[in-house]
Structure 1
Amino acid sequence: MYKRIALLFTILLLNSGIARRPAIAYLVPHLPHLDDRQLEREGNDLLGESIQLAQLQQFDLAITRAKLATQLIPKNPDVWSVLGGLYLADNKTDLSIAALQKAKALEPKESAIWFRLGNAYFQKKDYPKAIESLQSGLALKPNVPGALFDLGNAYLMSGKKNEAIATYEKAYAQDKKFWYPLNNIGLIKYEIGDVKEAIRLWKLSVAAATDSTGAEPKLALAVATYQTGDQDQGLKLGEAAVKLDSRYSDIKFLKENLWGDRLIAATQEFLELPRIKAAISQSKSTESEGRSPR
């Protein structure tokens, strides 16, 4: 580690020109010859460390290493793509787009870069550019379920509901275990008044979900079921949903997950029901205990 730090410090000195203009000649240290392979090796090591830190949710440290890696291997599109992804995960959208644009310039035929760029534009709420980027990626690598789902989301936020539904259906057709497109079609169907179809789609989503990610369709199904008259079943589903993940009791979080105005209004009333409020309180208490050190 100390050798690596010394090496990087030397590189920075060389880049700045400080080491070429010594005031006193005999104070100039010996500078080792740095070949391209050595720089590439050091850059790849830093990139690997960055990815490992990102997996541990240590984004500040991961970004620092990825930025250093871009200085050592600036013509490597992967390092710019990773840096862009890290910025995106850390909600630094403009920096993410700048890094991903560099990655794209270096490797314009890499679909993953286009997909990541599409996500960055989506987070920036620039939906036309999100659609354009995702379509460009899908032109290079068609039928990627996650990318199709993201494109459907961009269509939905652009008000293009028919295009969104068609894209979601295509995403689901690629992977029948990937239930998220069905869930979002349900969101659209509910907003246009087709509650019966929304309920059918949310039931399919709940059946396909195997872990806490199923909290979203379960809560949507609970609200719709309660509204259509089966109040006891709706309350049971609602209690189960908020116990799986209490974040879905937060209206802001629901809006971030593309819930429409009509469903939001119904959910706000549902979350105020005594049994649901009690389940939310219990869920938050359990989650808090799970985070507490022992």
Structure 2
Amino acid sequence: MKKLLIKTIWTSLICFYFFQIKIVQAIVPYYYFPTIKNLQKQGLYIGKNAYQLLYFGQYEDSLNLAKLAVKINAKDEKLWLILAETQIANKEYRNALNSLNKAEQINSNISEIYFVKGQVYLKISRLTKAKNALEKGIKIEPNNHKAIFQLGNILLMEKNYLGAIKLFDKSIKIKPDFWQAINNKGLAYFERNKINLSIKLFESAISIEENAEPLLGLASCININDTKLAIQLAKKALAKNPNYVNYDYRKEQLWGEKLQASTEILLQNEQLKKDVRLAKSKIRESS
């Protein structure tokens, strides 16, 4: 009897023990603590989503996601770069520069950091800083034709036409069908009164891409000698991009004073009045 009693007590105690464990497990939740590696993956995944939203024009949402990605993993320079891109899209230029500085502190050997910095400095009209940033990036990535082209554009703004032409040539050597650099060489040569060279360059750019800019540039070049063709080209240019009717817009595209004056004369032609009026109305509608 005694043995049976002891056995019963032990059985009860064991059952009670296991029963208590189940109760405790039912009350206390199980917490998952992610590893650093998992956090890094999650941050990168969110960063990629932010970049995708940016691509589709959802600027505010992309900015919020990029901020979250950086909070999760502040040691990844790629995430700081993505954040900077979203800040630029939202016109937060000072914040973008801070993000780029963070990326540079983590890894100073990434050319894109300096190329994006150059882009930001251009937007806030800090030409010297933009030039320095682009030059740093080009030292790391010497065959980046777009960065070399952008550096040439800064020299074009500074009216250093020969320097700009050299950089455009360098860019074209890397990418022969880079019509934007060919076009901008035409802009530079026009300001140096090399009209025949400008004509050839605008024609070359058009043969690659029939864009409004070289079309109108060529029209302005030949207006004196071939007004009929100039009007045809101007009509086509304004139909493709009405913004080129606007002096300030052309200035943003780095058109110099001489080409601007020539274009204004062309656009005053009676045969272009209707096209000019239509282009202006399209700009008003879109604004």
Kindly provide the amino acid, as one letter, of the partner of residue 90 in structure 2. D
After superposition, the Cα gap between the structure-2 partners of 1:37 and 1:163, relative to the gap in structure 1 and judged at 3 Å, is same
How far residue 238 of structure 1 moved from its aligned partner, in angstroms, is 0.4
Aligned to 1:10: none
Distance in 1 (alpha carbons) for counterparts of 2:283 and 2:56: 20
Give the superposition deviation at 1:120.
Answer: 1.3
C-alpha distance in structure 2 between counterparts of 1:198 and 1:104, whole Å: 40
C-alpha distance in 1 between matches for 2:144 and 2:125:
22
Shift of 1:93: 2.0
The Cα shift of 1:263 comes to: 1.4
Tell me the equivalent position of 2:249: 253
1:240 matched to which residue of 2?
A: 236
User: Quick check: 1:149–1:171 contact (8 Å CA) kept in 2?
Assistant: yes
2:220 aligned partner, one-letter code: V
> Paired residue for 1:215, among 212, 216, 220?
212
Higher deviation after alignment, 246-255 or 268-277: 268-277
Q: CA deviation at 1:153?
A: 0.9
Work out the CA distance in 1 between the residues paired with 2:279 and 2:122. Answer: 31
- Residues 239 and 275 of structure 1 are in contact (CA less than 8 Å); yes or no, is this contact kept in structure 2? no
Displacement after TM superposition at 1:234 (Å): 0.1
Q: Which amino acid is 1:265 matched to? A: A
CA distance in 1, matches of 2:270, 2:97: 45
User: Does the aligned pair in 1 maintain the 2:245–2:280 contact within 8 Å?
Assistant: no
Per-residue CA shift, 1:198-257, capped at 9, x if unaligned? 1111111111115xxx1111111111111x320000000000111111121222111111
User: Which position in structure 1 is the counterpart of 2:119?
Assistant: 119
Q: State the AA in 2 paired with 1:225.
A: I
Aligned to 1:75: 75
Please tell me the residue identity of whatever aligns with 1:219.
L
**1:175 paired to 2:164:** no
Gaps of 5+ in 1: 1-28
**Which residue is 2:133 aligned to?**
133
How many pairs were matched up? 259
Q: Which residue of 2 aligns with 1:5?
A: none
- Counterparts of 2:270 and 2:87, CA distance in 1: 41
**Structure 2 Cα separation of the partners of residues 136 and 164 of structure 1:** 18
- d(CA) in 1 for partners of 2:98, 2:268: 44
Cα 1:286/1:129, change in 2 over 3 Å: closer
- Relative to structure 1, the CA distance from residue 159 to residue 51 in structure 2 (aligned partners, 3 Å threshold; closer, same or farther) is same
**Contact between 1:182 and 1:202, CA under 8 Å: does it hold in 2?**
yes
The answer on whether the counterparts of 1:243 and 1:280 sit within 8 Å (CA) in structure 2 is no
What percent of counterpart residues are identical? 27
Tell me the distance in 2 between the aligned counterparts of 1:124 and 1:263.
25
Q: Cα distance 1:59–1:244, how it changes in 2: closer, same or farther (>3 A)? A: same
Contact 1:70–1:79, Cα closer than 8 Å, also in 2: yes
Contact 2:161–2:188 (Cα < 8 Å) also in 1: yes
2:255 alignment partner, SS class: coil
Distance 1:274 1:79, change over 3 A: farther
Aligned to 1:190: 190
TM-score normalised per structure 2: 0.83
1:261-280, aligned counterparts within 5 Å? 261-280=257-276
- Where does residue 204 of structure 1 map in the other structure? 204
**Rounded Cα–Cα distance in structure 1 between residues aligned with 2:93 and 2:121:** 8
Q: How does 1:22-171 map to 2 (within 5 A)?
A: 32-171=32-171
- Partner SS for 2:206: helix
- Residue pair 1:183, 1:202 contacting (<8 A) in 2 also: yes
Q: Which one has the largest radius of gyration?
A: 2
- Rounded to whole Å, the distance in 1 between the matches of 2:277 and 2:62 is 35
2:226 is aligned with 1:230: yes
- Given that 2:161 and 2:189 are in contact with CA atoms closer than 8 Å, whether structure 1 keeps it comes out as no
8 Å CA contact 1:242, 1:280 repeated in 2: yes
Q: Is the 8 A contact 2:242 2:282 kept in 1?
A: no
Partner residue, 2:11: none
The Cα RMSD (Å) is 2.4
Q: How big is each residue's C-alpha offset from its partner over 1:251-276, in whole Å with a ceiling of 9 and x where there is no partner?
A: 21111111111211222232233433
Q: Counterpart amino acid of 1:185?
A: K
Are the structure 2 counterparts of residues 288 and 31 from structure 1 closer, same or farther at C-alpha, using a change threshold of 3 Å?
farther
